Amino acid sequence: MKEISDDIKTEKFEAFYQWLKEDGLVARRSERMLRKRIFRNLLGNEEMTMENFEDFLIEGKKKKKPKRKKPIPTQVETTEDETIVHYPRYKTTRRFVTPVVP
């Protein structure tokens, strides 16, 4: 196990506790006492708690995916029967045909 600073543990404790609850953690008596006990075990480097915290950190890194930017058209040509949109960032062009109404 690698050493994790107390600042990181304190900063991420709320998210860690929510992660534990989503994983099925249920307080038998008092939620406040359970939170204190988990926090004390986390700062005291209790083996099982640290193992769960490391799993939480690893899972958090996996979930972060960069948001994909939507293509912004820079040139639009319109004629009577179609619209042509140019996306130079992706080097593509799309044609949209206007439906003919009888």
- pLDDT tier for residue 1 given thresholds of 50, 70 and 90: low
Tell me the whole-structure pTM to 2 decimals. Answer: 0.58
Alpha helices in the chain (DSSP H): 6-11, 13-22, 31-43, 47-63
pLDDT computed for residue 34 by the predictor? 94
Identify the residue with better confidence: 4 or 88.
4
Q: What is the C-alpha to C-alpha distance for residues 91 and 28, in angstroms, rounded to an integer?
A: 60
Residue 76, CB half-sphere, CA atoms under 13 Å: how many? 6
Q: What is the C-alpha to C-alpha distance for residues 18 and 6, in angstroms, rounded to an integer?
A: 19
Per-residue pLDDT of 9-51, as tens digits, reads 999 999 999 999 988 888 888 999 999 999 999 999 999 999 9
Average pLDDT over residues 83-95: 76
Q: How far is CA 50 from the centre of its chain?
A: 22
Q: What is the C-alpha to C-alpha distance for residues 87 and 72, in angstroms, rounded to an integer?
A: 7
